[in-house]
Amino acid sequence: MALPERHASRRARIAHAYNTLNEQGYFTDRIGGNDAYLGSLMAHYVPRDASSILEVGAATGLWMRRVLHKRPALREVTVVEISDAAEECRRRLTPLLEGRPGARLDVVQDDFLEAAARLRPAQVVASSFVADYMGNPSDYLRRLHDLAEPGGRVIAVEVLTSGRAPVGSVSPAMLAGSFLRLCLAHAKVRKLPPVRGVARSMGLYRLPEEPAFKDLQRYTADYTFPRGLWRAEARKYPGAVFHDLGMVGMLVLPK
Ligand SMILES: C[S@@+](CC[C@H](N)C(=O)[O-])C[C@H]1O[C@@H](n2cnc3c(N)ncnc32)[C@H](O)[C@@H]1O
């Protein structure tokens, strides 16, 4: 059945914008993605014995590549990506699953909001910087949680907004504060801070100036996910872990 026009054009515009950004090197090996500085902390929360994983907004598969290297038990992988980067995921991830017994890679090039009902649940459900396209953040987290298998978990890293820092704003002071919090979060889980990753990800901070990215503002302008709401979400899910990383929040929600 054809989508109502407003959904179809939303989907096409988001995909087009990210195709353009990917062509410029964002979320590819050239500039990289958020994986460079947050990927290792996210991967820390993927259980060593997990065999299935689903990632929403996987872009070109940079984070999933990292996780597949670190977690050889993973063999059932689903990525959902609205842009043509989905094909890059397929190219990148297929060889990494070769030789894993029962391996399966599902690449779903679609709007998560349209595709959610037909996705297979997984032990780990991950999302990084995608919530701002998904409407109400609490509803989005609930949808992710619905897709986690019992005993599994959601790992979500998304923009944390404040009155002074709405979505899309970046300043040197915010970056410095976030870096400190990131180091503390790594210390808490006994990991070295991702200094090289942070340096590498500096290229990403040109993103808000890119015309293709600005074109997306109509979809993200209403996104607010302040600290208090992150804490409230953590309280909703018993056993949840919340990392306050300044400009970014991270939740691990058990199921
Ligand atoms: C800001 S990028 C983040 C990429 C990567 N997860 C990271 O953290 O570096 C957002 C990604 O989500 C994808 N995306 C946005 N809206 C989406 C939707 N409704 N369904 C599926 N993917 C979506 C975009 O195409 C893009 O690849």
Digit-coded pLDDT (tens) for 188-238: 999 999 999 999 988 888 888 999 999 999 899 899 999 999 999 999 999
Separation of CA 207 and ligand 1 centre (Å): 14
How many domains are there within the chain? 1
The residue behind tokens 């990215």 is: 213
Spell out the alpha helix ranges (H) of the chain.
Answer: 5-23, 35-44, 62-70, 85-97, 112-115, 137-146, 172-188, 195-201, 211-214, 217-220, 227-236
β-bridge pairing 248-254 and 52-56: unpaired
Closest-CA residue, ligand 1 atom 27, reads 59
Cα distance between residue 245 and residue 230, in whole Å: 11
Separation of CA 130 and ligand 1 centre (Å): 5
Closest-CA residue, ligand 1 atom 2, reads 129
The residue behind tokens 């999302």 is: 127
Cα separation values, 240 from 81, 174, 237, Å: 26, 26, 6
Question: What would the mean pLDDT of 224-253 be, rounded to a whole number?
Answer: 97
CB 159 within 8 A of CB 229: no
Closest-CA residue, ligand 1 atom 4, reads 59
For residue 117, what are the contacts with CB-CB under 8 A and spacing of at least 6?
none
Our separate counts of H helices and E strands in the chain read: 11, 7
Per residue in 11-30, pLDDT (tens digit) is 999 999 999 999 999 999 99
What b/e sequence results for 42-64 when a residue is b if at least 16 CB atoms lie within 10 Å of its CB, and e otherwise? bbebbeeebbbbbbbbbbbbbbb
Separation of CA 58 and ligand 1 centre (Å): 6
What b/e sequence results for 78-87 when a residue is b if at least 16 CB atoms lie within 10 Å of its CB, and e otherwise? bbbbbbebbe
Tell me, what's the pLDDT at 187? 95
What is the reported pTM? 0.95
Q: What tokens appear for 150 in the block?
A: 């019992």
Question: What would the mean pLDDT of 45-64 be, rounded to a whole number?
Answer: 98
Work out the burial of residue 91: count CB atoms within 10 Å of its CB; fewer than 13 is exposed, 13-18 middle, 19 or more buried: exposed
Q: Is the beta carbon of 237 within 6 A of some atom in ligand 1?
A: no
Closest-CA residue, ligand 1 atom 14, reads 57
Question: What would the mean pLDDT of 167-189 be, rounded to a whole number?
Answer: 86
Cα distance between residue 82 and residue 146, in whole Å: 20
Q: Is the beta carbon of 57 within 6 A of some atom in ligand 1?
A: yes
Q: Which of 72, 197, 59 is nearest to 130 (CA)?
A: 59
Separation of CA 59 and ligand 1 centre (Å): 6
235: containing domain: 5-254
Separation of CA 95 and ligand 1 centre (Å): 23
Q: Is the beta carbon of 82 within 6 A of some atom in ligand 1?
A: yes
Cα distance between residue 61 and residue 227, in whole Å: 28
- CATH no. for residue 100? 3.40.50.150
Pocket test for ligand 1, best of 82, 125, 157 (most atoms within 8 A of CB): 82
